[in-house]
Amino acid sequence: MPRPIDLVGKRVVVTLSEAADHTIDGQELEGAILRLAPDQGLQAFDGVIVQLDDSVPARYRNHQVFAMPRLRGEPLDSALQGNIVPVNFWLRRPDGREVQGIGSLSVIE
């Protein structure tokens, strides 16, 4: 059985299905998982921080995505078995502002 730590370093696609900023709806953004998050609390290490890479449109470069599973009982590491995992996401801009929404996460490597 994969462990959540096995996600670190994996290349993923985060699909932004619905967001508070509707101009980003439907975007598929690629990047690598930097670390598990949050570091503490009831949902410690249930989510991930994804650093978006140069394959994304210029307006998303240097952004990060914090993603948490939408459904209890479906951990993000199920993406290692080829599953698409529904997530809540927070797209973090370099200036610190965030856009929140729902989407999905899948491993591509």
pTM of the model: 0.86
Q: Residue 48 pairs with which residues in a beta bridge?
A: 36, 67
pLDDT confidence band for 2 (50 / 70 / 90): very low
Q: Residue 90 pairs with which residues in a beta bridge?
A: 66, 100
Percent of the chain scored above 90 by pLDDT?
47
pLDDT score, position 11:
95
pLDDT over 80 at 96, yes or no: yes
Q: Residue 76 pairs with which residues in a beta bridge?
A: none
pLDDT over 80 at 99, yes or no: yes
Distance CA 17, CA 80 (A): 21
CA 92 to chain centre: 11
**Residue 90 near residue 103 (C-beta atoms within 8 A):** no
Query: E strands within 1-109?
Result: 11-19, 27-37, 47-52, 64-69, 85-92, 98-107
